[in-house]
Amino acid sequence: MADYTVRLRRYYTSYTVAFFAFVLMLAVLERYGMPPRWIGYSFLLLTIFLYATIGVLARTTSVAEYYVAGRRVPAVFNGMATGADWMSSASFMGLAGTLYLSGHQGLAYVMGWTGGYVLVALLLAPYLRRFGQYTIPDFLAARYGGNPARVVGVLATILASFVYVVAQIYAVGLITSRFVGLQFEIGVFVGLAGILVCSFLGGMRAVTWTQVAQYAILMVAYLVPVTILSHQVTGLPLAQLTYGGVLQQVQALEERIFVDAGEIEARRLFRERADAYHDRILSLPESLAEERRELAARINALKNDNAQMREIVALERERRELPRTSEDARNYWEAHMRQAAQRGVDPDHHMTAYPSGGESVNEVARANFLTLVFCLMIGTAALPHVLTRYYTTPGVREARLSVFWSLLFILVLYLTAPAYAAFVKHEIYSHLVGSPIAQLPLWVSSWGKIGMVSIEDINGDGIVQLAELVLNPDVILLAMPEIAGLPYVISGLVAAGALAAALSTADGLLLTIASALSHDLYYKVFRPQATTQWRLVVSKSLLLVVAVLAATVASQKPATILFMVAWAFSLAGSALFPALIVGVFWKRATRAGAVSGMLVGLLVTLYYLVRVQFDSIPWLHIQGIGMEPWLGIQSTSAGVWGVAAGFATIVVVSLLDKPPSRETQDFVESVRYPEFDR
Amino acid sequence: MRLDERQRAYWHRNLRLTAWLLGLWFFVSFVISFFARELEHILFLGMPLGFYMGAQGAPLTYLLIIWWYARRMNALDLDYGVADAEGED
């Protein structure tokens, strides 16, 4: 065992050193004129090739290797693999962007995604490891006697993991389309190939060892740019310690910018625009016809004036995009109205907690902050792809330590994300805001091309105002090296890291979905007599099917990454967390209680999430289902209702039911109490 | 399965440790966040205390909680002679 660990350590150290050498080599080549596109290619191709090599070397046909990596992953390496598995594109790309946009409010993600590990460590990991099977539905089935609990567990696992995996593949499409210049939809399927080479042949074993490799790359990629920037701005390369000072400067900049005359003017114009949309919506359908007439008149006037072709084309496109029915027009203009209104709002200070514009605390913001922290924590402690990782350690003691290592490796990123937000904000407030629109930096146009950055000079003064700038949170991190004027090789490095984050999480998730289907549904429910070999064949084919399905959904470009991920957490938390916890700590919980609790939790969350977030579902032809949120809680925290409903249902139904059998009680004891040497 | 005194004592100590640590977890996560606005005037590393706790303080506390739990429980396992040898399956 010790020998094995030493060998692993040597492999991965030399591998990390080689990766550093590769980055340095590219940096030198860039000096000598290597074009950026080639740098992008070399990063993406080399890293995917590397993962594929590990994936092929770790191929296996043994069931224990395939599902739980042979249960001999040392705690430290399991920690790293869990870290990579855990840190998705939402953490890597989305988090810094959200912190940039919402300041203190974004810290809910930092706390939620780290605090959940306390629940994993104290309430779940050691007990699951002592139980020692393959999947989370395995545990539910053993505790609650049989297939009903297993099937509901499978349903929840698949639903949550699928929403999550779609978000990862979407991110892969975003990265490849920007850095290699592929079309978004093609990029999605290229990324898919990258995901499949890791997990297809070797299951958990291959995924674990590629994840360790991916962890190294994503950490280097996350730390290098912000360290350089910290050195440039403050003279100290420790971004985590210096960003407090930078935030002080940001605060000073904010105090100046927020009351700038141009800013106030721009915000007023946006509010007026929102009001104009409002009036137009009220006077439908005449306003639509009028709008059409007016555009036609403007186009004619331009044509008669022999104006620039470009302007005419732009107006004609505007006319083409005009909605046809007044129902469409209402939705279209409402979206525009919301956008304009949002840009017209007075901005909040980065460091102020629960800002309300005045001295008082914004109660709704506080409630949303606390419930989001809660949902993300509960979700962390219930997402099957993370929990199954603790089946792969050699024993209970290693499982406990492994949670510690996991969180330590994860913290490296989470403690740095707020620094990113601070440095980028400092850069943008001190350099971009107030600069002339005629001399915009290059990154604005290169990211603007794929619709991630836009600047609209609404007050026509030729100067960039903060209110005129719109940044998509998902690109703040990817664009950061360019924003700070770092060499392109750093951009390539960040892209490779983001890709590693998305691929590693997608691997773990796809494997979890495939295991739930092949192991839990096919083998345990439908064909217990299936041979080992046949089970692996089924699992591998399902992996392919699910992967293609997820890529198809992702190519439709659904909501932003962070939103999708937050939903996955709420779904997993409300369906699985109560049943898992109660399964260990309350012997009296019965099968009927657990099954109904899981279903109620899941349905309540789904119901709330769908009705708050969507007003219509076009492909089901459902309309007008939107509702006002309860107590102002947003859809990302939908799980708070689901978890409460789930716990309540389990307790009430179990107490009405007759106590569980002797066998079940023995099972709980076997999970709680270790065997003692006498 | 018949439980003996030693097993009950072991479980009891485990529960007590878990409850204490969960209390600490709850305090840094929810109580401090609830009063983030009131803690605004205390600065730490250039940040208001509420902001600092969310960005660094709470995550580091979580790490300490998990480390302490693993340490205490693994020591408890040794005290009670738990048969959980490495590499068992």
Q: What is the CATH number of the domain that holds A213?
A: 1.20.1730.10
Interchain proximity B74–A401, CB inside 8 Å: yes
Using pLDDT thresholds of 50, 70 and 90, give the confidence band for residue B88.
very low
Using pLDDT thresholds of 50, 70 and 90, give the confidence band for residue A167.
confident
Interchain proximity B62–A244, CB inside 8 Å: no
A479 touches chain B (CB under 8 A): no
Residue A379 pLDDT > 80, yes or no?
Answer: yes
Neighbour tally for A638: CB within 10 Å: 31
Phi, psi torsion values for A676, nearest 5 degrees: -100, 145
Between A110, A354, A361, which is nearest B59 by CB?
Answer: A110
Where does A87-106 have alpha helices with state H? 89, 95-102
Per-residue confidence (pLDDT) for residue A111, from 0 to 100: 93
Average pLDDT in the A166-192 region? 78
Number of domains in chain A: 2
Average pLDDT in the A34-45 region? 81
Tell me the domain boundaries of chain B: 5-80
Q: A389-419 burial, b for 16+ CB within 10 Å, e for fewer?
A: bbbbbbbbbbbbbbbbbbbbbbbbbbbbbbb
CA distance A3 to A352: 52
Which chain B residues have a beta carbon less than 8 Å from that of A132? 89
Structural contact between residues A642 and A608, judged by C-beta atoms closer than 8 angstroms: yes
Which chain B residues have a beta carbon less than 8 Å from that of A110? 54-55, 58-59
Between A110, A370, A674, which is nearest B55 by CB?
Answer: A110
Residue B1 pLDDT > 60, yes or no?
Answer: no
Interchain proximity B83–A674, CB inside 8 Å: yes
Per-residue confidence (pLDDT) for residue A328, from 0 to 100: 77
To the nearest whole Å, the CA of A418 is away from the closest chain B CA by 7
Same-domain pairing of A59 and A126? yes
Interchain proximity B87–A394, CB inside 8 Å: yes
The count of CB pairs under 8 A between chains A and B is 161
CA distance A148 to A501: 35
Same-domain pairing of A407 and A548? yes
Nearest CA in chain B to A669: B1
Same-domain pairing of A405 and A339? no
To the nearest whole Å, the CA of B2 is away from the closest chain A CA by 9
Nearest CA in chain B to A75: B86
Interchain proximity A121–B66, CB inside 8 Å: yes
H or E element at residue A270: helix A261-282
Between A71, A403, A677, which is nearest B89 by CB?
Answer: A71
Interchain proximity A677–B45, CB inside 8 Å: no
Average pLDDT in the A293-297 region? 83
Per-residue confidence (pLDDT) for residue B22, from 0 to 100: 94
Per-residue confidence (pLDDT) for residue A540, from 0 to 100: 77
Using pLDDT thresholds of 50, 70 and 90, give the confidence band for residue A673.
confident
Between A248, A418, A666, which is nearest B1 by CB?
Answer: A666
Interchain proximity B86–A240, CB inside 8 Å: no
Average pLDDT in the A19-23 region? 84
Residue A660 pLDDT > 90, yes or no?
Answer: no
Same-domain pairing of A13 and A77? yes
Residue A292 pLDDT > 60, yes or no?
Answer: yes
Interchain proximity A245–B46, CB inside 8 Å: yes
Which chain A residues have a beta carbon less than 8 Å from that of B63? 114, 404, 407-408, 411
Nearest CA in chain B to A132: B89
With residues binned 3-state (H G I as helix, E B as strand, rest as coil), the percentages for chain B, rounded to 5, are: 70, 5, 25
pLDDT single digits (tens) B15-60: 999 999 999 999 999 998 898 888 888 888 878 888 899 899 999 9
Same-domain pairing of A10 and A136? yes
Q: DSSP assignment, residue A235?
A: S
Q: Spell out the SS3 assignment of A601-628.
A: HHHHHHHHHHHHHCCCEHHHCECCCCCC
A121 touches chain B (CB under 8 A): yes
Per-residue confidence (pLDDT) for residue A600, from 0 to 100: 92
Which chain A residues have a beta carbon less than 8 Å from that of B66? 117-118, 121-122, 403-404, 407
Where does A484-560 have alpha helices with state H? 488-515, 532-554
Per-residue confidence (pLDDT) for residue B87, from 0 to 100: 39
The residue type found at A187 is G
Question: Tokens 């205490």 map to which residue?
Answer: B72
Nearest alpha-carbon partner for A227 in A23, A508, A416:
A416
Between A118, A400, A672, which is nearest B74 by CB?
Answer: A400
Q: DSSP assignment, residue A468?
A: G
Evaluate whether residue A325 is within a structural domain: yes
Nearest CA in chain A to B46: A244
Mutation target for B interface from A62, A63, A76, A107: give the one with most B CBs within 10 A.
A107
Same-domain pairing of A183 and A297? no
Nearest CA in chain B to A393: B87
To the nearest whole Å, the CA of B3 is away from the closest chain A CA by 8
Average pLDDT in the A393-418 region? 88
Evaluate whether residue A596 is within a structural domain: no
Which chain A residues have a beta carbon less than 8 Å from that of B11? 672-673
Residue A195, Cα to own-chain centre: how many angstroms?
17
ipTM: 0.91
A60 compared with A419, residue with greater pLDDT: A419
CA distance A229 to A252: 20
A359 touches chain B (CB under 8 A): no
CA distance A571 to A520: 20
Structural contact between residues A384 and A158, judged by C-beta atoms closer than 8 angstroms: no
Interchain proximity B65–A377, CB inside 8 Å: no
Same-domain pairing of A150 and A56? yes
Name the CA radius of gyration of chain B, rounded. 19
Average pLDDT in the A645-671 region? 86
Q: Which of A346-350, A362-366, A467-471, B85-89 has the lowest average pLDDT?
A: B85-89
A252 touches chain B (CB under 8 A): no
Domain boundary among A557, A572, A605: A557
Residue A319 pLDDT > 80, yes or no?
Answer: no
Interchain proximity A675–B82, CB inside 8 Å: yes
Nearest alpha-carbon partner for A403 in A416, A415, A391:
A391
Nearest CA in chain B to A417: B55
Structural contact between residues B50 and A353, judged by C-beta atoms closer than 8 angstroms: yes
Q: DSSP assignment, residue A674?
A: P
Interchain proximity A126–B66, CB inside 8 Å: no
Residue A59 pLDDT > 80, yes or no?
Answer: no
To the nearest whole Å, the CA of A187 is away from the closest chain B CA by 34
CA distance A343 to A457: 13
Q: DSSP assignment, residue B42?
A: -
Percentage, residues of chain A above pLDDT 70: 96
Interchain proximity A110–B11, CB inside 8 Å: no
Strand partners, A463: A436
Quote the domain boundaries for residue A296. Answer: 261-344
A396 touches chain B (CB under 8 A): yes
Per-residue confidence (pLDDT) for residue A557, from 0 to 100: 67
Domain boundary among A557, A580, A613: A557
The two beta strands, A469-471 and B47-48, are unpaired
Residue A147 pLDDT > 60, yes or no?
Answer: yes
Interchain proximity A370–B22, CB inside 8 Å: no
Interchain proximity A395–B45, CB inside 8 Å: no
To the nearest whole Å, the CA of A152 is away from the closest chain B CA by 27
Evaluate whether residue A422 is within a structural domain: no
Give me the residues of A, 325-354, that contact B with CB < 8 A. Answer: 351-354
Residue A67 pLDDT > 90, yes or no?
Answer: no
A184 touches chain B (CB under 8 A): no
Interchain proximity A353–B50, CB inside 8 Å: yes
Structural contact between residues A408 and B65, judged by C-beta atoms closer than 8 angstroms: no
> Which residues make Cβ contacts (< 8 Å) with residue A599, sequence separation at least 6?
A152
A663 touches chain B (CB under 8 A): no
Using pLDDT thresholds of 50, 70 and 90, give the confidence band for residue A315.
confident
Evaluate whether residue A430 is within a structural domain: no
Q: Helix (H, G, I), strand (E, B), or coil: what is residue A455?
A: strand
pLDDT single digits (tens) A606-635: 888 887 777 666 666 666 667 777 777 777
Q: Among the ranges A235-239, A516-520, A521-525, which has the highest mean pLDDT value? A: A235-239
Per-residue confidence (pLDDT) for residue A617, from 0 to 100: 63
Using pLDDT thresholds of 50, 70 and 90, give the confidence band for residue B86.
very low
This prediction's pTM: 0.87
Same-domain pairing of A313 and A175? no
Structural contact between residues A224 and A212, judged by C-beta atoms closer than 8 angstroms: no
A671 touches chain B (CB under 8 A): no
Per-residue confidence (pLDDT) for residue A559, from 0 to 100: 63
Average per-residue pLDDT for chain A: 82
H or E element at residue B43: strand B43-44
Interchain proximity B88–A377, CB inside 8 Å: no
Structural contact between residues A349 and A355, judged by C-beta atoms closer than 8 angstroms: yes
